[in-house]
Structure 1
Amino acid sequence: MHNQGIGTWISRRSMRSLDDVAISYRGRTIGYRELSSRIRRLAHALADRGVTAGDRVAFLGNNHPAFLESLFATATIGAIFVPLNTRLAAPEITFALEDSGATTLILTQELRELARAGAWSTDVTRRIVVDGEAYPAVESYDEVLASGSDTEFDVPVTADDPAIILYTSGTTGHPKGAVLTHGNLTWNCFNALIDYGVSAGERVLLISPMFHVASLSMGALPVLLQGGQVILHERFDPADVLRTVQAEQVTMLSGVPTTFQLLQEHPDWETTDISSLQHLTCGGSTMPERMLAAYEQRGLSFSCGYGMTETSPGATAMPPRMSKEKMGSSGIRHFFTDVRVVDQNGRDLPAGEVGEIWISGPNVIKEYWRRPDATGSAIVDGWFRSGDLGYFDSDGFLFISDRLKDMIISGGENIYSAEVESIIMELAEISSVALIGVPDEKWGEVPLAVVSVHPGAELSADAIRAHLDGRLARYKIPKQVVFTDELPRTASGKVRKADLRALYAAERSAAGTTSQGGHR
């Protein structure tokens, strides 16, 4: 084959796994041979409609077989897949479509209105709806797929060619498109196969959306590469997850601390047979001791990890047998990845000293989409500057200390303060604002806005949230707004966010504040 990218994976695997189940969804199963056929037909159908190598094909939808079929079909053509976060507001969808230059949008029926609002002013000329009937200017996915030839589709694709553009929240108010190559995704899978022991008999239940790189690259792709089974859930529901684990004999489950907490707190936890589970991977933040203990009582251990979109996403992983002994650590370097902790001059620091975490390896991006400025500042001599602070212990285990980029991680979702602050500052009454993350029992942390207004001005917290509603994803909107006369600043005028975090985290903890209900 001329195509050396991920687009050939299912075709190659189907010759070995034949009719073994590849994907389960809503009670329906798709075998590897059928999946390979569907991918070939979709690739031909997209090519017949003008999609060529290098074109961008966007997908707006929750976990669905069409997501994976579209990814592999796009990769078969040599085009670039752009998965969109379904939790974004319409203006954020518009930005991603405009910035990527996507001309094809595949969407699920339930997100038809969001797609319409987000794509109407962009260069998208082809729209295809999944699980829905065709309507003016929009084709039916099933009809498109049926129109394609079931013959081999082989064009030259190399490991260095772009496969996916994933948008990360911007530290300067605009998201950046991280370009993951076919090689990045492949080497990340190799890391997962070695460090997590993914096998051919794996049955992974995806409870996190695949538009996040962790669910896609640490769950779906390595399991499909090995010939295992991917079970798709569109949304996270603790009761449904527990039922599925027992009924489908799930062996692998990935999530963030919040998801595992909600599973453990569910009334069905004690009576559900979870003996099939072998691999539990957790990212986003470290697992609290009480949660580790609760799962250990059921004979389960976690492999917590550290990474980001730009590392496809794995940088480190915790060997499960060490999760208790090295509690609070994000583990050791992935097998094919290197990690350093350096000072402000880029010099390696000894064990125990905190510095910036730098990462390199074949799973690390080479660039941001059409952002040479951002690429140049983030990548130094092949090392990706994470913007996170941490240290190694004497055994080589990484501990995360803080974030240089003021990023907030809420329930596994990344929130960058600058993006939210820039929209809040549009309100004429506000003189300054700082968004910080404060501890939350359910979500790990949630955004809190500290605001000062101009003398004589009046503004309520509800008014601020109303201004953000529809402009940003709900999880980015501050759960609490605090008004103050003046924000603490350094001599150079920068807001001292560390002081704010210390103050309001302590107050929130003392008040025992917990976000009620879902904020997704």
Structure 2
Amino acid sequence: MHDHGLGSWMATRRLKTPEKTALVFDDGQELTYRELAEMADIVAANLVRRDTGPGDRVAYLGENSPDFLAALFGTVQIGAVFVPVNTRLAPPEIQHVFTDSGARVLIHDAEFSARVSDVVSSVAHVIAAGSAHEWEASAPREAVGVPRQRNSEDAPAALDRPAAILYTSGTTGKPKGAVLTHGNLTWAALNAIIDYDIVSTDVALMISPLFHVASLGMGALPIIIKGGTLVLEKRFDPGRALALIEHHGVSMLSGVPTTYQLLCDHPDWAATDVSNMRKLTCGGSAVPSRVLNAYEERGLSFSQGYGMTETAPGATLLAPERTREKQGSVGVPHFFTDVRIAGEDGRAVPSGTVGEIEISGPNVFAGYHGRPQATTEAFTADGWFRSGDLGYLDGDGVLYISDRLKDMIISGGENIYPAEIENLINDMDGVTGVAVIGVPDERWGEVPWAVLTVRDGITIDTDQVRAHLDGRLARYKVPAKTVIVDELPRTASGKIRKADLRVRFAPSI
């Protein structure tokens, strides 16, 4: 049966545009769509030889590279499920992804060999990805506690089959795996193509990691389905990024406000030819006026948006021509997506009224892997996804974000959930109470602070908290500052009033 999912994309691109440049990487090396398709075939063959097939999970740990995309397309073309791993995670966090997803195979960049050596006990096969077409693999091992859970069918033909599991931090302290189907990722790509007006001549600079759903779902996949060109960067350096923008005639760039601020603050900004850049997309938080001004002075403007892993990721988009008119908003729903605002009783509220943002559309995820209760709780009775964020629609149907029900912190585009950090700090001797809050930061948008109560005679400072968390959490999750207070403000039921703490400490920076 014909494969209508992502597994067919490479074969189709090889047929339509075999000699078109698909990827530019490592200071100018290029791969055509034919060569990328061949790499994906090699990955698929490696997986099949290791008894990996439909329904099996294949984890990938590595930075932006041709190997990442070859692993993705090689995985999905045999019906397996791709699990990209955030390279910034600490070993225990990486192990959780392997274990929770039930990954049978791990493919990783060679530079991560040391990091994965102690956390792959649950993985049956480990494959080290080499440059270009070179792949090596360890001898097969028996997986520990990993059920096979394989389907009997051949390749997936339906868009409702799982294509990827992307992990998003949860309020309970353990990241949850959002299951994105072939349809979710395809419709998200179509949303981007329509609303960003992506064309086959576009050249997109990928400075954000592909393991993030925004970079993958709204950047790489739309460009690939249109047959454009991706310029892959492993890490973001503003000076180097500006040089690449000029050299390759980059037309599309995605990032967070910090990304764009660092670019326009760089000494090379004024002299860089940015005349081809017509698609600048930004998410994570609002773009400051100072940054908007710097880009408008160069004839550039932004598409700002709102979304999350569960929406693959786009939910809304503020078009560049409305940036000033609707400044502070996140725009209107994407073409194939709907947004509504619900009150506490679950009913839709009038425009201008704050309520929970609910999202519907073919880009909305299938559920959380292995967590049926969390999946049920994430949806309304009539099938709308409950975002956990508060906002309102104005009279023009434009969405404004008011607050977060989940207390999520967004720091430099990374989602941070306080409960995960609080659970670890609570293990420290002498801590009697802890609340992690987001405090405004000029560079990162927000940074986490830890507010503690401690036993009499105990002193705990920022350095001690950092030392306790070192190696157990990604560095961006470690609190920038620790504050000791006599008492944490609480509700009558004993819940900490974090809003009070944010008001108290925000003015102190």
Counterpart-to-counterpart distance in 1, 2:99 and 2:401: 35
Q: CA deviation at 1:268?
A: 0.1
Counterpart-to-counterpart distance in 2, 1:272 and 1:38: 34
8 A contact 2:108–2:128 mirrored in 1: yes
Helix, strand or coil at the partner of 1:204: strand
For 1:160, the equivalent position in structure 2 comes to 160
- Over 3 Å counting, the alpha-carbon distance change for 1:61 and 1:112 in structure 2 is same
For 1:321, the equivalent position in structure 2 comes to 321
Helix, strand or coil at the partner of 1:59: strand
8 A contact 1:490–1:496 mirrored in 2: yes
For 1:505, the equivalent position in structure 2 comes to 506
For 1:95, the equivalent position in structure 2 comes to 96
- Over 3 Å counting, the alpha-carbon distance change for 1:182 and 1:136 in structure 2 is closer
Q: Quote the RMSD (CA, aligned, Å).
A: 1.6
Residue identity opposite 1:101 in structure 2:
G
What does 1:205-220 correspond to in 2, within 5 Å? 205-220=205-220
8 A contact 1:92–1:118 mirrored in 2: no
Helix, strand or coil at the partner of 1:391: strand
Helix, strand or coil at the partner of 1:327: coil
Counterpart-to-counterpart distance in 1, 2:414 and 2:481: 18
What does 1:383-462 correspond to in 2, within 5 Å? 383-462=384-463
Q: TM-score, normalised by structure 2?
A: 0.95
Question: What does the per-residue CA deviation read over 1:424-469, in whole Å, with 9 as the maximum and x for residues that have no partner?
Answer: 0011210000000010010001000101101222323211110101
For 1:145, the equivalent position in structure 2 comes to none
Q: CA deviation at 1:125?
A: 2.9
Q: CA deviation at 1:203?
A: 0.4
Q: Aligned pair 1:487/2:488, yes or no?
A: yes
Helix, strand or coil at the partner of 1:40: helix
8 A contact 1:129–1:138 mirrored in 2: no
8 A contact 2:106–2:123 mirrored in 1: no
Q: CA deviation at 1:352?
A: 1.1
Helix, strand or coil at the partner of 2:68: helix
Q: CA deviation at 1:168?
A: 0.5
Question: What does the per-residue CA deviation read over 1:42-92, in whole Å, with 9 as the maximum and x for residues that have no partner?
Answer: 212211221110000000001011110110111100000000000000000
Question: What does the per-residue CA deviation read over 1:117-151, in whole Å, with 9 as the maximum and x for residues that have no partner?
Answer: 332x3233333343499586599xxxxxxxxxxxx
Helix, strand or coil at the partner of 2:329: coil
What does 1:188-227 correspond to in 2, within 5 Å? 188-227=188-227
8 A contact 1:106–1:130 mirrored in 2: no
For 2:265, the equivalent position in structure 1 comes to 265
8 A contact 1:200–1:226 mirrored in 2: yes
User: Tell me, which stretches of 5 or more residues in structure 1 are unaligned?
Assistant: 140-153, 509-520
Q: Percent identity?
A: 55
Q: Aligned pair 1:367/2:367, yes or no?
A: yes
Q: Aligned pair 1:45/2:36, yes or no?
A: no
Helix, strand or coil at the partner of 1:103: strand
8 A contact 2:20–2:33 mirrored in 1: yes
Counterpart-to-counterpart distance in 1, 2:105 and 2:435: 38
Q: CA deviation at 1:41?
A: 2.6
Residue identity opposite 1:443 in structure 2:
W
Q: Aligned pair 1:232/2:232, yes or no?
A: yes
Q: CA deviation at 1:156?
A: 3.5
Counterpart-to-counterpart distance in 2, 1:135 and 1:348: 54
For 1:67, the equivalent position in structure 2 comes to 68
For 2:343, the equivalent position in structure 1 comes to 343
Counterpart-to-counterpart distance in 2, 1:109 and 1:377: 40
For 1:512, the equivalent position in structure 2 comes to none
Counterpart-to-counterpart distance in 2, 1:104 and 1:55: 8
8 A contact 2:164–2:181 mirrored in 1: yes
- Over 3 Å counting, the alpha-carbon distance change for 1:299 and 1:335 in structure 2 is same
8 A contact 2:6–2:186 mirrored in 1: yes
For 1:19, the equivalent position in structure 2 comes to 19
Q: CA deviation at 1:206?
A: 0.4
Residue identity opposite 2:112 in structure 1:
L
Helix, strand or coil at the partner of 1:117: coil
Residue identity opposite 2:480 in structure 1:
K
Counterpart-to-counterpart distance in 2, 1:292 and 1:108: 37
For 2:150, the equivalent position in structure 1 comes to none
For 1:518, the equivalent position in structure 2 comes to none
